[in-house]
Amino acid sequence: MIRHVVANALTLMIVGLVGLAVVIASGKRSFYAEGPLAEPICYRVAQGASLRTVSAGLAEQGAISSEQIFRIGAQYTERAGSLRFGSYLIPEGASMDSILDLLTRGGASTCGSEIQYRIGVTRIDTLVRELDPATQRFEVVVQFAADEDAPEDYARFSAQADIQYRITVAEGATSWQIWEGLRLAEFMSGEPGDVPREGWLAPDSYAVQRGADRQTLLAEMEARQERILASAWENRAEGLPYATPEEALIMASIVEKETGVADERRQVASVFVNRLRIPMRLQTDPTVIYGITQGQGTLGRGLRRSELDAVTPWNTYRIDGLPPTPIANPGRAAIMAALDPDDTPYIYFVADGTGGHTFSTNLADHNRAVARWRQIEAEMRAQQPENAN
C-alpha cells in the first residue's frame, strides 16, 4: 500500500516537474521570440518608474504579450533594477528581451521630444520637435522666434526631465551672433565670457543638456573648427596664395557669405584666388558690410556709395589682398572650397536672379551680366506693391 502511494507521489512529482519545465521553456521562448508590436512606438519610462508599472504600460501599448513573463525575464537576467528613465524607440516585432535591453542600457533617449535652438544669420528660432515612430522623422509641434513670447505648450515640453536639447548654428553666422544667441538661451548656464575670435566657431549641430555651460560649448565649437581647418590645410591644393591657415579661414568666410549654393563654392573661391594671383582687389560687398557692423547683427539695407568709398580694414574695394580677420564663421564646405578651389579663368561674378551667379572672364561680359541683374532687380521691385496688395 505504502509502495503504491509513493509510486503515485513520484509520478505526480515527475508530471509536475515536466509541466514546470514546459512552462519555463514556453516562457523562455516567449521572452526571446518576436513580439506582437505591429509598428514602432515611442515608449517613455518615467523617472523612478517600477518594473511592474513599465510592464503594464508596455502591455497596454501592445509591445509585450505577457507582463508576468517580462518581469520574470527581467529578474532572471538581473536587469529588474536597471531601468533608465527616458524615451525609447521600440521597433515593430521587438522581443521582450530586446525591449528590456533598450530600457536598461541607458544613454541618450532615442525618441520623444527635442528642443532645437537655431542660431541663424538673421534670427534665432526655438523649435520643439517630436519623433514620429512610424516614419522616424521629427515633426515640428512648436516654433517661435527669440523676440517672441514662448507659447504655453513650450513650458510643458521643457519641463520634461528627459527632454533633449540641440543647438544648431547656421553657416555664415558671426561669432557675436553665436555668442549673443547662447547668452539668450534660457536653458544654458554660466556667463559666455568674451566674444570669441571671428571665424573660429564651427557651424554645426550640438547636443546639450539643460544647464550646459556656455563657455564650455563655445570652447567645443572652437576646438571643432580648429580640427576642420587643420585637416583641410594639410590636404590643401598646391600653389594657393595663402601664407597661413588663418588666411585660408578668412577666404573661406568670404566664400561663405558670397554664395549659399553648394555647387558654386569652389567656383566663387576660384574667382577670389585668381584675383589674389593677378593681383586684383577682391571687391566683395560682405567685407564692406562687416567693416560697418563688426559682425553685430545684419545691415538690413543696401550699401551706400559713401560706405563703398570709406577706408576700413575690411573694405576690399579700398585695400589690397585679404582683410585682417574672417567676416563670419564658415562651414566645412566653404573651408574645403577655399583650400581646394576649382581651376577656372573667372575673375568676375554677379547674381543671376535664381539664387546663383553668372561667372565671367572679362569685364565686358561681366558688365552685360550686371545689366541683366539690374533689370531683374527692377522687375522684382516693380512687383512688390502688387504682392503687398
Task: Specify the DSSP class assigned to residue 87.
Answer: E
Question: What is the tens place of the pLDDT at every residue in 205-252?
Answer: 998 989 999 999 999 999 999 999 999 999 999 999 999 999 999 999
- Within 8 A by CB and 6+ apart from 29, the residues are none
Domains recognised in the chain with CATH numbers: 31-111 (3.30.1490.480), 113-229 (no CATH), 241-346 (no CATH)
Residue 273: what residue type?
A: V
Question: What is the tens place of the pLDDT at every residue in 307-335?
Answer: 999 999 999 999 999 999 999 999 999 99
Closest residue by Cα to residue 335 from 220, 261, 230 = 230
Q: What integer is the mean pLDDT of 157-169?
A: 84
86 versus 300: the higher-pLDDT residue is 300
172 versus 42: the higher-pLDDT residue is 172
pLDDT at residue 368 in the model = 93
Q: Give the integer Cα–Cα distance in Å for 299 and 297.
A: 7
pLDDT at residue 142 in the model = 87
283 has a pLDDT exceeding 90: yes
CB 245 within 8 A of CB 227: no
Task: Give Cα separations from 131 to 45, 143, 156, 208 (angstroms).
Answer: 16, 15, 16, 18
Residue with cell 581651376: 343
What is the residue-averaged pLDDT of the chain?
Answer: 87
pLDDT at residue 385 in the model = 59
Tally of helices (H runs) and strands (E runs) in the chain: 13, 9
Residue ranges of the alpha helices (H) in the chain?
2-32, 51-60, 67-76, 96-105, 152-158, 175-184, 214-234, 245-258, 265-277, 285-293, 305-309, 332-339, 363-388
Q: Give the integer Cα–Cα distance in Å for 70 and 55.
A: 7
Closest residue by Cα to residue 214 from 119, 315, 311, 302 = 119
Burial label, 137 (beta-carbon count in 10 A; 0-12, 13-18, 19+): exposed
Angular region, 318: left φ>0, alpha ψ -120 to 50, beta rest: alpha
Closest residue by Cα to residue 201 from 338, 326, 296 = 326
Q: What integer is the mean pLDDT of 106-126?
A: 83
Whole-prediction pTM value?
0.76
